[in-house]
């Protein structure tokens, strides 16, 4: 998948005001990620919500670990602006615009890094896990979710009946993700996956939701230009083949979950400290 960062930032910034009202999948995945976090025996004092969006997970992390300092970062300025609106007198989460694979923090800054449905948008995911490892304290926990290649399989298959263009974002296999995490000097890496299916009355409803959360196709290899009426009708007809007996249209998501602990001994080999801009 080839996703330019500028396109990612712009797409999600534009969706910031409508994000929470349409982020059904993101909320469900976040709940499942928190269920996995609940069984971890940790008491972090510094937490990073990497790819915080409008701050949904940052706020919950702030409640769960009331004594911890929570920092939320996102590459989309619009998302950070929206997240800051939720800060109140007793809820002061530090929100910053930042790139997840070039974080503005010192080495060993956090004991917990939480990331919900963010890493799937990144081109150089190997670098991302190294960077997350860098800012995590030895013995600290990384817990995250991503999307797998079977995501939106109905829409992909429908488009294949229409043309050969790239219309749906492609995501990385769970096993490759696990290998990359392990190679970034993490240990006790655990990966698993869920299949979550949302249902819609019409294909247009799905398209509107994808646009409302900024998750429509932004691959740089995608087909350019507006979709003609004939092509749209062909797509709708192809998607109709997936309609269930109860009248609903399914939209399948392959959700990948992972967690791992930063090794306590000093890393060797090609792992090295990256230059950073320290946030005062």
For residue range 2-55, list pLDDT tens digits in order: 556 777 778 888 877 788 877 899 999 999 999 999 999 999 999 999 999 999
Tell me the pLDDT band of 228, cut-offs 50, 70 and 90.
confident
- pLDDT value for 4: 66
What is each CA distance from 51 to 69, 103, 106, 135, in whole angstroms?
Answer: 16, 11, 18, 15
For residues 258-263, average pLDDT: 98
Higher pLDDT, 5 or 173: 173
CA–CA separation, 1 and 146 (whole Å): 14
We find that the CATH architecture of domain 5-149+170-196+252-262 is 3-Layer(aba) Sandwich (3.40)
- pLDDT value for 269: 53
What is each CA distance from 161 to 155, 173, 216, 228, 240, in whole angstroms?
Answer: 10, 24, 19, 15, 12
Phi, psi at residue 187, to the nearest 5°?
-135, 170
Strands 94-97 and 110-115: unpaired
């Amino acid at each position: 998948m080839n996703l330019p960062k500028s396109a990612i930032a712009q797409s999600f910034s534009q969706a910031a005001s409508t994000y929470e009202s349409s982020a059904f999948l993101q909320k469900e995945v976040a709940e499942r990620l928190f269920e996995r976090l609940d069984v971890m025996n940790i008491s972090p004092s510094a937490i990073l919500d990497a790819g915080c969006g409008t701050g949904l997970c940052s706020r919950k992390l702030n409640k769960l670990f009331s004594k911890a300092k929570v920092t939320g970062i996102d590459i989309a300025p619009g998302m950070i602006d929206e997240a800051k609106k939720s800060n109140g007198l007793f809820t002061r989460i530090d929100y910053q615009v930042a790139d997840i694979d070039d974080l503005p923090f010192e080495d060993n800054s956090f004991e917990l890094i939480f990331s919900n449905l963010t890493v799937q948008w990144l081109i150089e995911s190997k670098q991302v896990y190294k960077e997350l490892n860098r800012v995590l304290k030895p013995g600290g926990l990384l817990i995250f979710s991503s999307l797998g290649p079977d995501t939106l399989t109905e829409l992909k298959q429908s488009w294949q009946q229409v043309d050969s263009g790239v219309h749906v974002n492609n995501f990385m296999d769970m096993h490759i993700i696990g290998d990359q995490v392990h190679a970034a000097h993490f240990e006790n890496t655990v990966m698993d996956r869920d299949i979550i299916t949302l249902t819609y009355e019409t294909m247009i409803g799905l398209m509107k939701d994808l646009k409302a959360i900024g998750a429509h196709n932004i691959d740089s290899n995608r087909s350019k230009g507006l979709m003609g009426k004939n092509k749209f009708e062909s797509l709708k007809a192809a998607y109709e083949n997936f309609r269930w007996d109860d009248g609903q249209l399914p939209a399948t998501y392959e959700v990948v979950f992972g967690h791992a602990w930063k090794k306590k001994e000093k890393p060797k080999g090609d792992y090295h400290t990256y230059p950073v801009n320290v946030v005062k």
